[in-house]
Amino acid sequence: MTNPLFKFDSLPDFSKIKAEHIVPAVTEQIHKNRHHLEKLLEDIDVPSWQNLIEPTSIVDRELDNLWSPVSHINSVANSNEWREQYEQCLPILTEYAAEVGQNQVLFQHYQNLAEQETLAPQQQKVIKDALLGFKLSGIDLTKDKQNRYKEIKKQLSKLSSDFSNHVLDATMAWKKLISDVADLRGIPESSLEQFAQKAEDDEQQGYLLDLQFPTYLAILTYADNRELRKELYQAYATRASEYSSNKDWDNGPLISEIMSLRQELAELLGFESYAHYSTATKMAERPDRVIAFLEELVAPSLRAAKNEIKALSEFAFKRDGLESLQAWDLSYYSELLRQQDFDISQEALRPYFPEAQVTQTLFDIAETLFAIKIELNTEVDIWHEDVRFYDIRNTNDELIARFYLDLYAREHKRGGAWMDSCRDRIEMGQIKQIPVAYLTCNFAGPSKDKPALLTHDDVLTLFHEFGHGLHHMLTQVNESQISGINGVEWDAVELPSQLMENYAYHEPSLRAMAKHYVTGEVLDDLTIQKLIEARSFQAGMFMLRQLEFALFDFRIHLEFDKHNNNYWQDILAEVRDQVNLITVPEFNRFACGFSHIFAGGYAAGYYSYKWAEVLSADVWEYFEEKGPMATDTGQHYHRCILGQGGSKPAMELFVDFRGREPTIEPLLKQQGIL
Ligand code: ZN
């Protein structure tokens, strides 16, 4: 029997891949790659693009293609067996990556190659990035230190994985059955149906609440029952902390351990802090620029947020005699105030955003801007019946990219929304591979008698992830190291995603997608206007929350204190003092669930969301000047930024597009903060 994971030239056979295939495939492939590299290095006399980069890229591709479905299924259809196999591979993979990154002979060849003048600019960028990668992998270190480097990497990878599992387990462990619907007053019908369905699936009667994000959000936003809001808030804010039902899930000690290892890693490589290490590969380049950038946003946001909180407090007092707003009141009263001021509610809008209609509009926009065709393909092997698959063709009817769309929340699927690569674009030697993306969301799915109906926030999320998808799929770059989102600085990578969010506020696009799922009636002009105006509703408060996360993340990586294990808690308290206008409850352990920075790639990089938002608002200003539905606009953007991947530094791409460097004003204007 051949292992189905050894399938590199087409899409993964999801239905055939079993947990027991994982470890053998990874072990064998790494063995093969290791051997291949050894042999290659023996044979090379004078390195060239053809005798070094091409063959190594081709075997790297095999490992990437093998691992992509493994890691994807681990996130979207998690099981104990799968997780166990997946985790066994992590140390093997990190060790192999570190080994390649510290290969002296390979490094020498890259250095020699860098001096050759015959390389094309894109090839030079690949070599330049690789050389920086070598440095960051500890190529210059003594043997002892290299071993320590590998050990740290391995430990960090294990800790990240534990961190993420604790959050998932703690989230799944919490359930609350409610038998009397009166306790759920205020909750919209669509959510009640979901809760009833969950109870039924669990062979219980009534309404089953859990900590999946749609449930949490529905309770916090709509439950009249303040105690219930508090209970959910507390359960969610203490996930994977010392308050968890299972003490083994406490991520607090893991955070201290992770921070200490990251600092050690940074120092090993000659950086002052992990923040210095992180910015070495980013558009911001230096920590002081990041801090200055965030501080620049704090002042105007605080000014705006103070007024917003004042209005909210007055509203809550007038309506319910509430003396002081608590953390679990914010979403609830904000939604009521939004309804009063704008007469629109996320819930009331749901019937106007049937998923199929929204997706179609999104596809139409992309088809117009980039002269492509997006077609459903039902012939492809998928991991769950809800998943859809699409082909993208250009004007010559050539297949140029493909994607999986997995939109609905379900058990054993990690929360949140993201885009990931299934296949990278590569054209080298005999190999020609088109990009394939996974687009994953966690929307409430269809019910017995209704299609999936999205909130406007869901629409934003979908457009956002599709923006990442376009970046990955419409790349024009042939070298996989710098095609799509590869080789793009982290703090610039959210530009294409956030840019697409603007279409969810673009009047003609709204008119095209906001049609009642039964009557087909278009959402009225007034409501559309209000929906657009509501974009700046509490923009200051929202900005402050993001700045809180960003400052916390960046400062704990910049100000490591080796004498105080819990220094990160002190920094959190300082940041909260600086940006919070409502006291955060003592029990709140948000850091314990902050997977982005402790289990994801955003360490000392969460600021990237804001950084890239500045870029995307500035790009959108150009779109508005030139026409957001003009193919010329789309093509100019595709030519300068979207199609370029990581082939040039992000600042250069931005200047190519805009004719100047970015400024923060378009963002502040767009949010109504200026
Ligand atoms: Zn994103």
Going from the Cα of 171 to the center of ligand 1, the distance in angstroms, rounded, reads: 22
- Confidence at residue 119, expressed as pLDDT on a 0 to 100 scale: 93
Give the span between the Cα atoms of 658 and 640, in whole angstroms.
Answer: 9
Going from the Cα of 606 to the center of ligand 1, the distance in angstroms, rounded, reads: 11
Going from the Cα of 533 to the center of ligand 1, the distance in angstroms, rounded, reads: 23
Going from the Cα of 293 to the center of ligand 1, the distance in angstroms, rounded, reads: 20
Give the span between the Cα atoms of 429 and 5, in whole angstroms.
Answer: 23
- What is the number of other CB atoms lying within 10 angstroms of the CB of residue 537? 18
- Label residue 150 by pLDDT band (50, 70, 90): confident
423, 403, 394: which is closest to 9 by C-alpha?
Answer: 423
- Confidence at residue 430, expressed as pLDDT on a 0 to 100 scale: 86
Percent of the chain beyond pLDDT 90? 93
What SS3 class is residue 453? strand
- Confidence at residue 413, expressed as pLDDT on a 0 to 100 scale: 94
Q: Which ranges of 502-607 does DSSP label H, i.e. alpha helix?
A: 507-513, 525-533, 539-558, 567-579, 595-598
Catalytic, 465? Answer yes
Per-residue DSSP letter, 662: -
- The domains of the chain are located at 19-101+103-136, 174-239
Mean pLDDT of the chain: 95
Span 8-17, pLDDT tens digits: 999 999 999 9
Span 477-511, pLDDT tens digits: 999 999 999 999 999 999 999 999 999 999 999 99
Going from the Cα of 178 to the center of ligand 1, the distance in angstroms, rounded, reads: 35
Span 543-562, pLDDT tens digits: 999 999 999 999 999 999 99
The answer to whether residues 427 and 17 touch, using CB atoms and an 8 Å cutoff, is: no
Going from the Cα of 248 to the center of ligand 1, the distance in angstroms, rounded, reads: 31
Span 411-444, pLDDT tens digits: 999 989 999 999 999 999 889 999 999 999 999 9
Angle between helix 539-558 and helix 608-626 axes, rounded to 10 deg: 140
Going from the Cα of 301 to the center of ligand 1, the distance in angstroms, rounded, reads: 22
Span 581-620, pLDDT tens digits: 998 999 999 999 999 999 988 999 999 999 999 999 999 9
- Confidence at residue 1, expressed as pLDDT on a 0 to 100 scale: 63
- Confidence at residue 371, expressed as pLDDT on a 0 to 100 scale: 97
Span 166-207, pLDDT tens digits: 999 999 999 999 999 999 999 999 899 999 999 999 999 999
pTM of the model: 0.85
Going from the Cα of 187 to the center of ligand 1, the distance in angstroms, rounded, reads: 29
Give the span between the Cα atoms of 567 and 564, in whole angstroms.
Answer: 5
Q: Which residues surround ligand 1, an ion (CB under 5 A)?
A: 494, 497
pLDDT at 661 over 70: yes
The CATH code that applies to domain 19-101+103-136 is 1.20.1050.40
Span 510-550, pLDDT tens digits: 999 999 999 999 999 999 999 999 899 999 999 999 999 99
Which residue out of 308, 347, 355, 465 is catalytically annotated? 465
φ, ψ (nearest 5 deg) of residue 386: -75, -15
φ, ψ (nearest 5 deg) of residue 405: -120, 115
Return the amino acid letter for 418: W
